[in-house]
Amino acid sequence: MSPAESLENPILNSPYEPPARHFVLGSRGPTGEIRVGRRPSESFIPIPVGRRRRGASKAGPEPEQDTLDFDVTGERREVNSLINDIRARVDRWRAYGYPGVTPVTRKLLQHWADPTREDRVLFCQREAAETAVYLAEAAGRRGEPDFRLRVDAENRTHNEGLPRVGLKMATGSGKTIVMAMLIAWQTANKAFSPRDARFTNRFLVVTPGITIRDRLRVLLPADTANYYRERDLVPPDLWSTLADASIYITNFHTFLLRDAKEIRGVAGNTRKLLNAGKQVDPFKEKPDQMVERVLRDLAGRGRGEIVVLNDEAHHCYQDRPLDAGPLDAEAKERNEGARVWFRGVGPSPARPG
C-alpha cells in the first residue's frame, strides 16, 4: 500500500484494543508509512524565537526523531520517557492480571475490560483509569518500579507544593467516563476498607466554566442520567457503595481570592489609599480562608482525604517556561486569572510500608 493510499484510510486500530500500528511522523507531519507497534509519546515544544536556528535550510537530511527541530513551526520533538516507561509497565501489569490490587479494584478492572459487554469501555478510557490505579496500588510494590518518585520529582519542578498526576486524553475520547470510573474505584474501596488512606469517598471536581459544570452532573450517583448506570461502570453488587460518595462540582473561579466583607462596596480610590505601600492586600481572603470556603459543602460529610479532579486541566498551567524571561504586566494579569493553587487539601498518595 502506498503512503497516499494509507492516509486515505487513517484508522489503523480498534478503539477497544491497545494500538498495534501507527503512522510514522516526518518533519512535515504524517508520512503515510505504517509501523508496527504503538507510537511513543512525544511532546512538540515551541522553541523561543531567539534560539531557533538562524538561516537553517528547510531542506536536507532530517535529524533524529528524538531531537527533531521543526524550523517552519518553531517546534522541537522530545520523547516523553516517563510516560513511555509507565505505559510499558501498565501493559505488563495488565497482561499478568493486575497483581497487587484489592479484590474490589480487580472486580472493577475486569468489569471494564470485559469484551462481552454491551457498552464496551474504550481502551483509552481503560488505560487512563488503569494508570491511576497502578500508581496508587501497584507502583513500588511486589517488584514494580515506584514511578511515584519520578512523578514527585516532576511535580517539584513544575508544581511545587501541589502534587498532581495528569491523564491526557484526546477531545471526545470520554474523559468524563474516566472521572466516573475513578470515583467508583475510590468510593467502592473506601466502603470495604474505611481505614485505607489510599482511598476516599469525597471528591472535588473543578471545571473551567458553568456550562461544563452542569454537564458533569452525570458524575452524581443520584442523577437520573448518571454514567455509573448509563455506561454500566459498576457491577450490580457494588452499586450500593456509591451512596457513600460526596461529590462537589464547581468552576475554577471559586478559587479566586474574594474581597473581605469589610471592603465590599468601598470605592476604588479609597481602596488604593488603604492599600498604599502594602505588599499584600489586607482586604482579600487568605488562601486558607478560600480553601475553607470552597470545601464548605464537603465539610461534615465524613473525614479523610479528598480527591481533586481537574477537568479540562490544560487551563491550569505553569507561570512560564523555566528558561523564559520576565513576564510583562499583561502576561502577569493573564497568569493570575488562570492560576489556581490548591494547597493543604490532603496528603500525597500513601507510600508502601
Residues of the chain with pLDDT under 70: 1-7, 48-74, 161, 211, 260-282, 297, 299-304, 313-353
If phi > 0 it is left, if psi is from -120 to 50 it is alpha, else beta; for residue 186 that is alpha
Cα–Cα dist 186/227, whole Å: 16
CA 5 to chain centre: 36
CA distances from 116 to 19, 119, 300 (A): 20, 9, 41
Phi, psi of 331 (to 5 degrees): -65, -35
Q: Is the pTM of this model over 0.85?
A: no
Greatest CA span in the chain, whole angstroms?
74
The 10s digit of each residue's pLDDT in 121-151 is 999 999 999 999 999 999 999 889 999 888 8
Distances (CA, A) of 118 to 121, 128, 193, 318: 9, 21, 31, 42
Query: pLDDT tens digit string along 57-97?
Result: 444 444 444 444 454 556 778 889 999 999 999 999 999 99
Best CA proximity match to 167, nearest among 198, 134, 131? 131
Domain boundaries of the chain, sorted by first residue: 101-257+284-317+329-338
Q: How far apart are CA 311 and CA 2, in angstroms?
A: 41
The domain 101-257+284-317+329-338 is placed in CATH, from the list 3.30.1460, 1.25.10, 3.40.50, 1.20.120, at 3.40.50
Retrieve residue 210's grid coordinates. Answer: 458553568
pLDDT, tens digit (0-9, with 9 covering 90-100), for 164-183: 888 888 888 999 999 999 99
* CA 200-218-346 angle, 5° bins: 25
Sequence-ordered list of residues with C-beta below 8 angstroms from that of 230, at least 6 positions apart, any chain: 218
pLDDT score recorded for residue 271? 61
**What backbone torsions phi and psi does residue 25 show, to the nearest 5 degrees?**
-95, 130
Distance of CA 31 to the CA centre of its chain: 30
